[in-house]
Structure 1
Amino acid sequence: MEDFEFRSVQDKKLEKGSALIAMSGGVDSSVAAALIQKKGYNCVGCTMRLYENDMVGLDLLGTCCSIEDTKDARAVCDRLGIDYNIYHYEAEFKNKVIEPFVCSYERGETPNPCIRCNKYLKFDSLYKRALELGCDYIVTGHYARIEERDGHFYLLKAKDLNKDQSYVLYDLSEEQLRHTLFPLGEFTKPEVRGIAEEYGFVTSHKSESQDICFVPDGDYAGMIKRYREKEYPKGDFVDKEGNVLGKHDGIINYTIGQRRGLGIPADRRLYVTKLDVENNKVILADNEDLFKRELVIREFHWITGDMPAEDFRCSAKIRYKHKEQPATVSLLDGGKARVVFDEPQRAATAGQSCVLYDGDIVLGGGIIDSVGDN
């Protein structure tokens, strides 16, 4: 087998120890386990069972909890000769991820549940399990990097920017980073698949899911209605002046920037620009009305804990696929911060996270609470 170099910067400063590998049954976590074992760590593989079908109204198992996935994860562990376990976190996942997800949509927001899952499940509940097992580190297949500099641990973008997942990890603490390993941070996806092929893993050509694990069909509104066991009332589509344009199918069906599926006859393209939950109205306007410079974020998190005392410059991104843009950040009372972009950004959406960067370093971020005028 080719001697693949393990290139994670963080590993150079860490002594060998034991590691609990979070394994989804996909190619990334499979290769992460192989690379960590190759470096001499004592490894244990595990799959987190996060929900049951009846929790989210599914007829079939979702992507991260399927029987096929657990079989694939176990097969990889068998090939590596390491122990494998399945751990149940259904109650924690319901309380910390699914319930906030549903509540966020009911407030007219568009949440990112993967961020909460990472913070509360993978790097909190699972790390506590790792401690019980006597493990020193949590290992995942995320494409990101960790570096230690002057006694601090920093989260960095992956070298493969097409796969970079640092955005969904911004809410981790420095202490969590201290006990985490991201072995894929220096690799590209084709390199990872190549390593999986060399090891003969059953996951080497497995396709990736692009959907949220507990909404595998992408129908978020349907999942919410099944979860709440209720229908959401229809209401009015209105323009900026309050003129009624038609009827909407329930406010949870819409998100900022949406154009398709409105069913409104018009002489131009209309977009969802605001959700008025109190009055059950969806405001439609032109594309230029989606561009805003200023927003406020809540639950502001600074990874190293040493928040700046004054306004500071950085770059910021307002969704996973958004390219970060230069901005000025001011801290506010109540765990909030104001982010003012140099140029207006399109479709900043409450419930999504605004993540702050200094070059490759992730500084922190927060959840978009409100969006200001141009």
Structure 2
Amino acid sequence: MGDIDGLEPGARVVVAMSGGVDSSVVAAVMAAQGFEVVGVTLQLYDHGNATGRKGACCAGQDIHDARQVAERLGIAHYVLDFEERFRRAVIDDFADTYAAGRTPIPCVRCNQRVKFRDLLDIARDLGAAALATGHYARRIEGASGVELHRGADPARDQSYFLFATTQQQLDFLRFPLGSLVKDETRAVAARYGLPVAEKPDSQDICFVPHGDHARTVAALRPDAAQPGEIVDVGGKPLGRHEGIARFTVGQRRKLGVSASERLYVVGIDAGRHRIMVGPRRAALCGEAWLADMNWLDAEAPPAAGLAVEVQHRYNEPPTAAHVEPAGDGRMKVRFATPQVGVAPGQACVVYAGARLLGGGWIDRAPLLQAPDEEAGAA
């Protein structure tokens, strides 16, 4: 176990400690391997007051747990107040994206704008040789430089959330858990006597109380909680809803309407506060345009494009696709098999086998069967 390529024996390593079992094991293993470990916990919201929810990250109880682990290991530990930065970079973006009828991924934004930018800079300021995290992904020295690969355990792989990591950041990062499965991580925690060995995994978005993201968005952007119509693809009213933030493209549960066949959200019209639903065949998408691309491969796709696998949602399996440049730093993705739930605002991540090549944010994903103009489209 261990991702220590390029690190000198005894080098200083900053470990991002969330208070959970994964990052705690990283700190324990790096310390046991003789590195000078400095634990850093980011206070991201609520001024450290715990919400009382099991599985919430970065709240008061988690800070307490991280401190206990650091004391157990005998390592330095610092708590940094990042609440304002986190609010601006992650929470506001989360609310704005839902209010625009799109579906955000706050964990990617947190990695991109806080952990792998601000925290990484702090690690360098502390004289560290690396920043180690508890992500289940693998950093591999390839022929042309460092590569990012899926974690060895498909059920725990978190590489999708790291697609926006730059090559420079990847050079400095380490992911010691990438070759483990979760049970192995817990076994290591128990072996080192860590007090978080049996702590539940994070299940919800850390800053969303009670797991109700729509309530959080409504408090920040009241317009997203404005009631509106639910219509079919022809524009026929089927019911009412209590805010567009309760819906995402591809959703098929808790729609609030019934029909003779299963319905899916096929479009969200934020301007008219309208949710459009239809059967699965109406929800199929054959291609998507990606914006704000980040490419980790040494060579970007040629003009003729590249055959790859893509993952257009974290909980979706990878699917065969063809990607090609679309100008202005954008990318066009053509799915080999039409997909359901290709939602603007989500990430589409590009892989060659286990290797992550890059990815971007889904900007546009036209349906194979265009809905009536009168119904409005997302």
Q: Check whether TM > 0.5.
A: yes
Range with greater deviation from structure 2 (362-371 or 286-295): 286-295
Q: Is the 8 A contact 2:108 2:161 kept in 1?
A: yes
> Which residue in the other structure is 1:351 paired with?
345
* Aligned equivalents of 1:295, 1:301: Cα separation in 2: 16
Kindly provide the CA deviation profile for residues 12-33 of structure 1, in whole angstroms up to 9, marking residues without a partner as x.
4432321111111111001111
Shift of 1:135: 1.0
Does residue 51 of the first structure (1) align with residue 42 of the second (2)? no
* Aligned equivalents of 2:187, 2:292: Cα separation in 1: 40
The aligned runs of 1:325-364 (5 Å cut-off) are 325-364=319-358
Shift of 1:65: 2.7
- Which of 135, 146, 164 aligns to 1:142? It is 135
The one-letter code sitting in structure 1 at the alignment partner of 2:216 is M
The aligned runs of 1:58-77 (5 Å cut-off) are 60=51, 63-77=56-70
Range with greater deviation from structure 2 (25-34 or 13-22): 13-22
* 2:66 counterpart SS class: helix
* 1:283 counterpart SS class: strand
Q: Is the 8 A contact 2:230 2:274 kept in 1?
A: yes
Shift of 1:292: 1.4
Shift of 1:38: 2.0
Kindly provide the CA deviation profile for residues 265-300 of structure 1, in whole angstroms up to 9, marking residues without a partner as x.
433332211111222211111022222121111111
* Aligned equivalents of 2:216, 2:68: Cα separation in 1: 32
Shift of 1:263: 2.3
Residues 106 and 149 from structure 1, CA distance in 2 versus in 1: closer, same or farther, beyond 3 angstroms? same
The one-letter code sitting in structure 2 at the alignment partner of 1:218 is G
RMSD over aligned Cα, in angstroms?
1.9
* 2:70 counterpart SS class: helix
> Which residue in the other structure is 1:3 paired with?
none
Does residue 160 of the first structure (1) align with residue 153 of the second (2)? yes
Q: Is the 8 A contact 2:50 2:60 kept in 1?
A: no
* 1:117 counterpart SS class: helix
- Taking structure 1 as the reference length, the TM-score comes to 0.93
Kindly provide the CA deviation profile for residues 114-160 of structure 1, in whole angstroms up to 9, marking residues without a partner as x.
00101111111001111121111111100011012235111111111
The aligned runs of 1:23-62 (5 Å cut-off) are 23-52=17-46, 60=51
> Which residue in the other structure is 2:205 paired with?
212
- Which of 16, 22, 26 aligns to 1:22? It is 16
The one-letter code sitting in structure 1 at the alignment partner of 2:151 is A
The aligned runs of 1:1-374 (5 Å cut-off) are 6-8=1-3, 11-16=4-9, 17-52=11-46, 60=51, 63-228=56-221, 232-304=225-297, 306-310=299-303, 311-374=305-368
Kindly provide the CA deviation profile for residues 223-257 of structure 1, in whole angstroms up to 9, marking residues without a partner as x.
01112356732111111111112222122221112
Q: Is the 8 A contact 2:347 2:360 kept in 1?
A: yes
Q: Is the 8 A contact 1:296 1:338 kept in 2?
A: yes
What are the ranges of 5 or more consecutive residues in structure 1 without an aligned counterpart?
1-5
Range with greater deviation from structure 2 (189-198 or 225-234): 225-234
Q: Is the 8 A contact 2:99 2:223 kept in 1?
A: no
Moved over 6 A (4+): none
Q: Is the 8 A contact 1:275 1:282 kept in 2?
A: yes
* Aligned equivalents of 2:149, 2:138: Cα separation in 1: 5
* Aligned equivalents of 1:69, 1:40: Cα separation in 2: 26
Q: Is the 8 A contact 1:294 1:371 kept in 2?
A: yes
* Aligned equivalents of 1:278, 1:68: Cα separation in 2: 40
Kindly provide the CA deviation profile for residues 90-125 of structure 1, in whole angstroms up to 9, marking residues without a partner as x.
121111111111111011111101001011111110
Shift of 1:7: 4.4
Q: Is the 8 A contact 2:137 2:178 kept in 1?
A: yes
Q: Work out the percentage of aligned pairs sharing the same amino acid.
A: 37
- Taking structure 2 as the reference length, the TM-score comes to 0.92
* Aligned equivalents of 1:230, 1:255: Cα separation in 2: 16
Q: Is the 8 A contact 2:50 2:59 kept in 1?
A: no
The one-letter code sitting in structure 2 at the alignment partner of 1:96 is A
